Structure 1
Amino acid sequence: MSFLTLSHLQKSFGSVRVVHDFNMSIEKGEFISFLGPSGCGKTTVLRMIAGFETPSNGSIAIGGKDQTKLRPNQRNIGMVFQAYALFPNMNVFDNVAFGLKVAGKSKAEIKTRVDEMLKLIHLEHLADRYPYQMSGGQQQRVALARALAPAPQVLLLDEPLSALDAKIRVSLREEIRQIQRQLGITTVFVTHDQEEALSISDRIVVMNGGKADQIGTPFEIYNNPATRFVASFVGTLNLIEAKVLDASASQIAIGDQQILLKKPIAKANGEKITVALRPEAGSLAESAKGDVRISGVVTSSHFLGSVIRTRLDVGGALVSFDMFNDPGTAPPALGERIHLNFASEDLMILAE
């Protein structure tokens, strides 16, 4: 049964509608990520859940109780912001204790709960420090502990890692996910970073233009994108213009080479379609499994450490593929004609 239900949410600022008829049911204990570029509406949806924005239309329910008209402090929701938002005049202990003091808890209850939260984030030895004496990652962990201390029914995180450097982001996102699983708290996480969303989410909502283009597991979103936007935004992807040669036989042409698909084509003969291919799907190995073999001329080859990304010109169509770095094997040379093998199932036909 759904725990957090968003029904027909809309939000307009003046004449500009930024969220269009957003619907979603979130189970208790789920970790949901809203993923999308700036201005797609993901933070606005989060702020409506928190009560910082009032929906122009629609409703929000938690545990079957309507929250739409409640103030933020009436919703029992924890929130972590991008900019930490710690109180600079309070030490770590008092920052974490703030919500408990507002709720009127006793000193004994507050000390027990704060100690528990500081142990959870592994910062019990820094209880007396002030925010300016701590790193950004430590401050964000304190902000997380402060949000969790009053035992909220839902945790909201608004791009909490974007101000941190790359290594700290990776370790902290794993820590957040571990804590979320340990507590079993329903969590909504907003990010524009696809790797973050793919690595820690139970489900991802890919937002585009105020709408949910697709809702699914990371596996579904990555391997079966529903729209061209999702395919291009999540992961690296070849978007290849192809021509329908024989729709009834699922035959297309990429550049000057013919390919048989194993999927129906809802287009007429001679029409253009867009197909997508993940770079990791292709292989140069003669023994590679796959029923498609295309040849092309190498136009570029980029060394990315563990991976070498090569681009081919296939009769005017550009196709990129990735191969693992092998110290004993030189990467393809510019101008070299090579053969790329992949399975026809790896070609995705994209909806516009």
Structure 2
Amino acid sequence: MAETFLSIQNVRKAFGATTVVQDFNLDVERGEFVSFLGPSGCGKTTMLRIVAGFEEPSAGMVMVGGKDVTNLKPNQRDIGMVFQAYALFPNLTVAQNIGFGLKVAGVPRAESDARVAEMLSIIKLPEFGSRYPYQLSGGQQQRVALARALAPRPKLLLLDEPLSALDAKVRVSLREEIRGIQKKLGITTIFVTHDQEEALSMSDRIVVMYGGKAEQVGTPFEIYNKPATRFVASFVGTLNILEGTVSDPASGTVRVNGSEIALKRKLDGKAAGDEISLALRPEAISVGDHPGRDASIAGEISDVSFLGSVIRVRVGVGKNAVSLDTFNSPATPPPVVGETANITFAASDLLVLQ
């Protein structure tokens, strides 16, 4: 059985009359990489600051390694933290920045030098120890900030949107490096981001937050393919929404733009004639017949965008507009705006939104 290392129990945080985190519960296993994902103002950074000790919860408890740390100061929690701003000391070299926490902790010079050298090797900057922060790129500075957080060998690593200030190409490269280092060291990590791609690509599990609550906790596969709420479905990935009506709730039959679709599962709590919202991922849709896709809806091509290897197609389906991507094939011309088309998909891929 996996060991729970970080336990957040019934945490609530209010600033005056405004509650920004409510009834938050989460158990994180030792060595697990968990992302807090959500839009601005959802409470994810506040929750991270509560774990770090920079904010005191209005209610609830935070436990690390079986120890209640709720009322401990940040420097008593044995954590490392990396912020969006690099916050490196401009008058110290890279090596001195990395070793700063070790010096404060009174680690002997020889041991500190060895640890700094190890960190420089891990972040792939072994020759940069004598440089100053202004001589580094943004990505290099963030790697140094990560090394500084890891040098004291904390039990828990907290990352507060550390990649958001970097350009897209550097972000992709650095997120792979961060995940690689985290796996190598086996350190339990909480990562805050508003970028769904970062969360999906880096995490063992994702906590999708909205309105101060954890809307859903699950693996990237579960969050993307089996969203528990309408917000999760719409926030994570691109989603097509189809509005229809229930024909037979017992058999799960619905009608969308004149087409009957059998979902092959009961629609509990629904009655014939009720309106229903259905979601469909773009990759689940084809124009025309496709093996394994047992449902179809008639529509009209409303827009075609050529993007090189991919052609993005929008199809008007009654009051709905459906987007899908098809691969470019030189032998097959793209659809033409205005022509009628059937979009096909597997009925089992339709998500019923609550």
Distance 1:166 1:179 in 2: 20
The superposition leaves residues 111-139 of structure 1 with CA deviations (integer Å, 9 ceiling, x where unpaired) of: 00000000000111110111111100000
Determine which of 178, 183, 186 is the counterpart of 1:184: 186
**Aligned residue for 1:164?**
166
Aligned: 1:12 with 2:9: no
Distance 1:156 1:303 in 2: 41
CA drift of 1:253 comes to 1.1
With 327-336 and 223-232 compared, the bigger mean Cα shift is at 327-336
Aligned: 1:294 with 2:280: no
With 243-252 and 113-122 compared, the bigger mean Cα shift is at 243-252
The superposition leaves residues 314-350 of structure 1 with CA deviations (integer Å, 9 ceiling, x where unpaired) of: 2332222221222332221110111222111000101
The superposition leaves residues 73-98 of structure 1 with CA deviations (integer Å, 9 ceiling, x where unpaired) of: 00000000001110111010000000
What amino acid maps onto 2:36 in structure 1?
F
CA drift of 1:54 comes to 0.4
With 288-297 and 219-228 compared, the bigger mean Cα shift is at 288-297
Q: In structure 1, the residue corresponding to 2:140 is in which secondary structure?
A: helix
Aligned residues: 351
The superposition leaves residues 260-279 of structure 1 with CA deviations (integer Å, 9 ceiling, x where unpaired) of: 11121121111111110000
Q: In structure 2, the residue corresponding to 1:249 is in which secondary structure?
A: coil
> Gapped runs of 5+ residues in structure 2?
none
CA drift of 1:293 comes to 1.8
With 300-309 and 129-138 compared, the bigger mean Cα shift is at 300-309
CA drift of 1:284 comes to 2.7
The superposition leaves residues 155-195 of structure 1 with CA deviations (integer Å, 9 ceiling, x where unpaired) of: 00000000000000000000000000000000000000000
**Aligned residue for 1:272?**
275
Q: Is the 8 A contact 1:289 1:341 kept in 2?
A: no
**Aligned residue for 1:60?**
62
Q: In structure 2, the residue corresponding to 1:109 is in which secondary structure?
A: helix
Q: CA RMSD, aligned part only?
A: 1.0
Q: TM-score, normalised by structure 1?
A: 0.98
Q: Is the 8 A contact 1:288 1:341 kept in 2?
A: no
With 186-195 and 287-296 compared, the bigger mean Cα shift is at 287-296
**Aligned residue for 1:194?**
196
Q: Is the 8 A contact 2:290 2:344 kept in 1?
A: no
Where do 1:27-176 residues align within 5 Å?
Answer: 27-176=29-178
Distance 1:102 1:62 in 2: 23
**Aligned residue for 1:331?**
334
CA drift of 1:287 comes to 4.0
Q: Is the 8 A contact 1:34 1:206 kept in 2?
A: yes
Distance 1:241 1:27 in 2: 40
Distance 2:290 2:191 in 1: 42
Distance 1:264 1:248 in 2: 5
Q: In structure 2, the residue corresponding to 1:144 is in which secondary structure?
A: helix
Distance 1:327 1:46 in 2: 50
Q: In structure 2, the residue corresponding to 1:99 is in which secondary structure?
A: helix
Between the two proteins, what is the percent identity of the paired residues?
62
**Aligned residue for 2:344?**
341
What amino acid maps onto 2:47 in structure 1?
V
Distance 2:242 2:39 in 1: 23
What amino acid maps onto 2:68 in structure 1?
D
What amino acid maps onto 2:224 in structure 1?
Y
Q: In structure 2, the residue corresponding to 1:248 is in which secondary structure?
A: coil
**Aligned residue for 1:313?**
316
Distance 1:108 1:225 in 2: 51
**Aligned residue for 2:220?**
218
CA drift of 1:309 comes to 2.0
CA drift of 1:295 comes to 1.8
